[in-house]
Structure 1
Amino acid sequence: MKKVCLKLAMPLLFFIVLTTVFSSGQPMKTSINESNIKSHLDSLTSPEYEGRLIGTKGNEKVLAYIEDHFKDMGLRSFTSEGYRQEFKAVNFTWNGVPKFNVIESDGKFVDAYEEQKNFMFIMDNMSMGGSFKGRMNHITDPKEITQGDEQFKDQAVLIDYEDNPMKKLRLSDEEIDHRLYYLGKAKVIIYLDHNFTTKRKVHLGDKNTMIPANGLIKIGVPKNTYKALLDYTNRGYHLDIHIPITFQEILSSNIYNVLPGKNYPNGDYLVIATSIDGLGLNWDGKVYPGAADNGASISLILELARILSTTEKPLDSNLLFAGFNGKHTGSMGVEQYLRDSMTFPEKAEIIYLDHLSSDGDTPLKIATFVKPRTERKTANKILHQLATTADGQNISYELDDGYLQGEYALFRNFGMIASTLTYDCNENIGTVLDTSDSINLSKVAEVGALLEAYITEYGQFNLFSEISQVLKSIGWLIVVGIVLFILKYGLSDKKGFEKLNSWFDSNPVMSSYLLILFFISILTMQIQHSISETAGILLKDTIITWGSIVEMFAHNIFTTLPMLAYLGMVTVIPIGLVFIVFMYLSKKLNKNVYVLLLSFSTYIVFMKFFNEFYDDRYTVIYPKLLSPYGSQYVIIFLILLFSLLVTWMFSKETHKISHLRTTVLFLFLFIILTTFTYSPYVFAKEVVNARSVNGRLKL
């Protein structure tokens, strides 16, 4: 017995040292090539691509460009349609030059305003363009909006949404527009834009599902124009407006490729995403190049795909590169992705690249949105993982956990883990000046280096790193074990230690120690994970106290009891039959054969019923050691072996080796240890609620 234990101790000590040595990572050297990014960017922002507006020939050329590069890299398609996912959407076409003139009642010219200088045509849910000739009416009394008696029929209304009387209505701008058009019968809405900009903004909203037959003309103006129009209104002048724009339904596509992980198509997904469309052509024929929005991001994704496609060893996670279409007309590409459930929402982590253009001084914004009252702050933990990686690459950054802008916010609102990397400081975004020459390529390459290192680090399941986090917290307990081991087996022949040796020989010291080590290790793992999730910090930054151990132990007892009750109800008959059969066979079989058959049968029966309430979709809330796809088979098998080891050691230490005693002890240990490990997650309130309606977790 003593010689066997000494032989077992050496591999254990070697493993502990190994996990500690390999737990710390070194900064990674990037393979990002700026020249490749520049080449892609120059192509995608060239006049040939006509600004990449969804549904246009230029946008189709972008899809073909990306698709051809995916094929050249030998990358795998992700959908049954190939690299593309088709969907319906809406785009627009300028058919001439917008006109906004002030005229006298007899049609005589008075004044003229220029689009993108003195006014901006607003593309939203209701604004349709068209022609108007008629008088103006300035709304000052909120009651005029609520009357609804067609008092503005065939008129252009001037309104300041920010005026105090209007604010008292507690209506959104869109709700006011709805009342003015459908109840007041106004044809044109001209509003004071307190943050007037000549940048083109488009959000077609409901037009993406149905283009209305008619609509109003909506125009935003700066203060000086608004003031002049008020004067013209008081003097009885009219307006002559023509907005030559049409909207039409189109077919378009998102584009994806996947680098399969070890368990593809199962397992986790790390999604690197951006938008691929742009604002297209202006009414004067000028191209919106869209270099920062988001030509640089597309180019970086192509470069990352090139680098990672040459990796010989697959990641543990599946790596999905996604190009979403339609950002500039209402984010229909992202909406389609969410509707089609391209990946299980709980199993995907989205990193969205947006506006990768820096002036050189602005730090990279690493951002997400964490609801203040949410209990689980996994999204915040992801921020800290990205920040730690950025530190390793010497990248200047700022963290923001209250950021809810851009397309990435659609994923967060859907309850998915999503973050965005952005500089968002390029004044040329939304203008024809957003060219490739305005992009700081070194900053784009920095983001690439960050992502390459992050994917390499967190796309792999680092067993040594995960275990080392636990070992570092229970180092004191390992020292205690070594001392006990030496006292029990190292001083057995020493004179003067007879009483101590007698006590150690007659008590199950090491088997008891192993059980304590197991429970403390599992509790440590669970506490680290719980603190990391609720505080949104990394495992290495968690602090464990005796109070937290007692609290987690009590929590585990309350979750273990219902799991034991469930397993007891469904397994009592099959495990009872196994027990009876093997007790009968114990007298006829070799001891080793008996143990093997008992262990194998127990494992098969237990896993059958355990898998009935174990759902891989919900493992996102599990500690990483328990969450890899299919890991429950390995973990529970290891617990079974551990139970056999403790049972064998207990029998040797107490010199009680009857088949009945050892069988009962083994079954008891195996079931208790397994339920103690998994019950806080299998029977977590949010999982039970989701399972009851076959729903999903919102993170």
Structure 2
Amino acid sequence: MKRYFPLTLLSAGILAGCASTQITNDDVMAGWNSINAEQLAEHVKTLASDEFGGRAPSTKGEELTLAYLTEQFTALGYQPGNGDSFLQEVPLVSIEANPDMTLDIGGKQYKYKTDMVMGTSRISAHESIKESELVFVGYGVNAPEYNWNDYEGLDVKGKTVVMLVNDPGFATKNPDLFTGDAMTYYGRWTYKYEEASRQGAAGAIIVHETAPASYPWSVVENSWSGPQFGFQKENNNMDRVAVEGWVTVDVAKELFAKAGLDFDAAKERAAQGAYNVDMGDLTASVEVHSEIKKSVSYNFIATLPGSEKPQEHVIYSAHWDHLGTDKTRKGDQIYNGAHDNATGTGGMIEVAEAFTKLPRNPNRSMTFLAVTAEEQGLLGAKYYAANPIIPQDKTVANINMDSLNLLGKVKDISVVGMGKSELDNMLGEAAKLQDRVVSGDPKPSSGGYYRSDHFAFANMGVPAMYAGGGSEARDEETEQYRKRMSLVLRGCYHQPCDRYRDEWDLSGAVQDLQLFYKVGFDVSQQEQWPAWYSSSEFQRK
């Protein structure tokens, strides 16, 4: 358990050091060594406890989470990051579709969760599509820079578009097509619904396949049912399609056959170039009745002021939220979210504490941002990016922590989106202290760089690092443990079984947190800001 000291004394000790005090390598390593598995485990067990109820936004679980973060960072002597408050208000709206719905296509009714999941992003109690013509639009991509437009020559107003998940590069493995096996933002479900809306479609349906989606149908069932959060907007999101959702691949194959098309052949054709085709006389109808609740959730932000350049900030981020509690579910109803992302939130506290072991504060301010509603489409991070507390031109870099390594010590550290910024080199230098090397994204096809909170910072132009874990176990015993535990973790993604386990090996998570601490410290001390590589799609705005 942590030992707490009187706040006034601790704060004074941290802030009293002047910039002339030298921070030695031994000082840095004292902070490094303070990060430990026992404290991390206590944070995770608390945040992922049944008492916190799965940490859904705007619930009792949020109140408990924010209180815990406030307690921890106050005890460490950190200052509120938003004026005199640790909180940033994020206005949200919850849209919960009534599961008593069917999707009618071609004279057959498809069942909710079993065959499909439908809903709406419109802030509306009732939305529907009625006898809306179906059009297959390949990957649903309009990407001028890749000379690709699946909507070319097509008017989809009033129609429902059917799309494949991921992008053509994944399907072909052609390194010259999009970015090859590495998913681009065009492969993300968020983009596909956005583009269908821009094109004026009435409905948008994505065909689920496990490999290109990088998760099984059960994740769609759990993640896209129940309350879905969005921003409160003046237009009530009426610029979005009326109905959006998913169907299983088996349903898709049946529909294509009814339309006189072969799904596999159409899928292969869609990967060769921009493609769309009418699906015969098939039309879709579905009624979506939703319960609308407007609420306020919060991002949490705390700062350790820099000793020389306090106006410049290195921002660490992690999302505190998960999926909450599903009272309609039989058996275990709580999505505890231990791995995703109590580990990252707990890890953030550990890194924050490490900086308090230094004889004076780092040159630049170290700011810790725990965001809400990541599971609902990175909403907390997006809101922060649109309403930054620290201006973009004062934000030096972002280091993101999401679902830490629970598979033990490894010889490498994987960088999601490797090759985008100079932070990779800084991580590589720090990794040498652990006799580790930097390796690339272990699963580029999942589009991980576009799926966590750092993406909002990257879109602001701020170099953002998302790394952790690795593929090469430190020893044979760890390798055998990894094989066993990886199956458990994979099967518990967005499931109630994502809960704390005593058998977890947190030594690998500790290693990664030590590297995140060191990279942040190095960024704070060096004169030049880290930059994007010229080949990156992100640049300072």
Q: How far 1:289 sits from its partner (Å)?
A: 2.1
CA distance in 2, matches of 1:398, 1:449: 17
Within the alignment, does 1:394 sit opposite 2:438 as a pair?
no
How much does 1:66 deviate?
0.8
Alignment match, 1:366: 415
Contiguous gaps of at least 5 residues in structure 2: 1-23, 138-150, 169-185, 261-279, 471-485
Name which one, 1 or 2, has greater alpha-carbon Rg: 1
Q: Secondary structure at the match of 2:360?
A: coil
Distance in 2 of aligned mates of 1:361 and 1:232 = 52
Q: Aligned residue for 1:77? A: 80
In structure 2, which of residues 399, 404, 420 is the aligned counterpart of residue 351 of structure 1? 399
1:270·1:320 contact (CA, 8 Å) conserved in 2? yes
Equivalent residues in 2 for 1:460-475, closer than 5 Å: 460=525
Q: Please identify, of 300-309 and 136-145, the stretch whose mean Cα deviation from structure 2 is larger.
A: 136-145
Structure 1 unpaired stretches of 5+: 1-21, 165-169, 372-378, 467-528, 537-696
Do the aligned residues in 2 keep the contact of 1:161 with 1:173 (CA within 8 Å)? Answer: no
Report the 3-state secondary structure (helix = DSSP H, G, I; strand = E; otherwise coil) of the residue aligned with 1:273: strand
Deviations, residues 17-72 of structure 1 (Å, cap 9, x unaligned): xxxxx999997761222122112212212233232222222222211111122223
* Structure 2 residue identity aligned to 1:193: H
**1:698 to 2:540 alignment:** yes
Query: How far apart, CA to CA, are the structure 2 residues paired with 1:111 and 1:193?
Result: 18
After superposition, the Cα gap between the structure-2 partners of 1:136 and 1:226, relative to the gap in structure 1 and judged at 3 Å, is: farther
Q: 1:357 to 1:243 in 2, by over 3 A?
A: farther
- Alignment partner of 2:322 out of 247, 266, 278: 278
**Contact 1:297/1:354 (<8 A) preserved:** yes
Q: What's 2:302 paired with?
A: 257
Please list, as runs of the form range in 1=range in 2, the aligned pairs for 1:21-32 lying within 5 A after superposition.
30-32=33-35
- Structure 1 residue 119 and structure 2 residue 116: aligned? yes
Partner residue, 2:499: 435
After superposition, the CA RMSD in angstroms is 4.6
Cα distance in structure 2, aligned partners of 1:24 and 1:134:
69
Preserved contact between residue 352 and residue 420 of structure 1 (Cα < 8 Å): yes
In structure 2, relative to structure 1, the CA distance for the partners of 1:259 and 1:340 (3 Å cut) is same
Contact 2:229–2:373 (CA under 8 A) maintained in structure 1: no
Q: Aligned partner of 1:113: which letter?
A: K
Deviations 1:125-179 (A, max 9, x none): 459685769667544698995175x5x6xxxx57345899xxxxx9965444555
Q: Does the CA-based 8 Å contact 1:89-1:209 persist in structure 2?
A: no
Distance 1:256 1:449, change over 3 A: same
Q: CA deviation at 1:368?
A: 5.2
Pair 1:179–1:126, CA change in 2 (3 A):
farther
CA contact (8 A) 1:90 1:208 kept: no
For 2:252 and 2:123, how far apart are their aligned partners in 1? 19
CA contact (8 A) 1:131 1:242 kept: yes
Residue 440 of structure 1: how far off its partner (Å): 4.3
Structure (1/2) with the larger strand percentage: 2
TM-score calculated relative to the size of structure 2: 0.63
The answer as to whether partners of 2:308 and 2:363 remain within 8 angstroms in 1 is yes
Does structure 2 conserve the Cα–Cα contact (< 8 Å) formed by 1:87 and 1:253?
yes
Q: Give the C-alpha shift of residue 408 in structure 1.
A: 0.9
Specify the SS of the correspondent of 2:244: strand
Residue identity matched to 2:76? M
Moved more, 408-417 or 222-231: 222-231
Deviations, residues 547-592 of structure 1 (Å, cap 9, x unaligned) = xxxxxxxxxxxxxxxxxxxxxxxxxxxxxxxxxxxxxxxxxxxxxx
Q: Which amino acid aligns with 2:301?
A: Y
Query: Partners in 2 of 1:446 and 1:343 — Cα distance?
Result: 29
The answer to which structure has the higher helix fraction is: 1
SS of the equivalent of 2:315 reads strand
Partner Cα distance (1:60, 1:230) in 2: 47
Residues 71/228 of structure 1: CA separation in 2 closer, same or farther (3 Å cut): same
* Superposed displacement of residue 431, structure 1: 3.1
Q: Do 2:415 and 2:438's aligned partners in 1 also have CA atoms closer than 8 Å?
A: yes
Could you tell me how far apart the structure 2 residues matched to 1:133 and 1:318 are? 51
**Which residue of 2 is the match for residue 658 of structure 1?**
none
Q: Are the structure 2 counterparts of residues 244 and 38 from structure 1 closer, same or farther at C-alpha, using a change threshold of 3 Å?
A: farther
Q: Does the CA-based 8 Å contact 2:323-2:375 persist in structure 1?
A: yes
Once residues 311 and 243 of structure 1 are traced to their aligned partners in structure 2, the CA distance between those partners, rounded to angstroms, is: 56
1:448 to 508, 513, 527: 513
| Match in the other structure for 1:309 | 356
CA distance in 2, matches of 1:236, 1:346: 54
d(CA) in 2 for partners of 1:104, 1:456: 60
CA contact (8 A) 2:197 2:241 kept: no
1:294 positional shift: 1.7
Deviation at 1:350, TM superposition (A): 1.3
Contact 1:369/1:403 (8 A) holds in 2 = no
Superposed displacement of residue 388, structure 1: 1.1
Q: Secondary structure at the match of 2:250?
A: helix
Counterpart CA distance in 1 for 2:388 and 2:103 is 49
User: 1:53–1:91: 8 Å Cα contact kept in structure 2?
Assistant: no
Measured against aligned partners, the alpha-carbon deviations of 1:417-473 in whole angstroms (never above 9, x if no partner) come to 321224498533333333223954222211222233444555446xxxx9xxxxxxx
- Matched ranges for 1:4-83 at <5 A: 30-83=33-86
Alignment of 1:231-242 (within 5 A): none
CA distance in 1, matches of 2:257, 2:34: 62
Aligned equivalent of 1:385, options 410, 426, 439: 426
In 2, distance between residues paired with 1:323 and 1:388?
A: 27
CA contact (8 A) 1:33 1:445 kept: yes
Q: Partner letter of residue 80 of structure 1?
A: G
Asked whether the equivalents of residues 128 and 217 of structure 1 are also in contact (C-alpha less than 8 Å), the reply is no
Counting only pairs closer than 5 Å after superposition, residues 317-328 of structure 1 correspond to structure 2 as 317-328=364-375
Amino acid at match of 1:70: F
Structure 1: distance between partners of 2:29 and 2:354: 18
Report if the CA contact (8 A) 1:127-1:215 is conserved: no
Contact 2:126 2:287 in 1 (8 A): yes
Q: Tell me how far apart the structure 2 counterparts of residues 178 and 417 of structure 1 sit (CA, whole Å).
A: 29
Shift in Å, 1:351: 0.9
Letter in 2 for 1:326: A
In the TM superposition, residue 238 of structure 1 has moved relative to its aligned partner by: 9.4
TM-score by length of structure 1 reads 0.50
The 1:160–1:70 alpha-carbon spacing in structure 2 relative to 1, beyond 3 Å, is: closer
Deviation at 1:698, TM superposition (A): 1.9
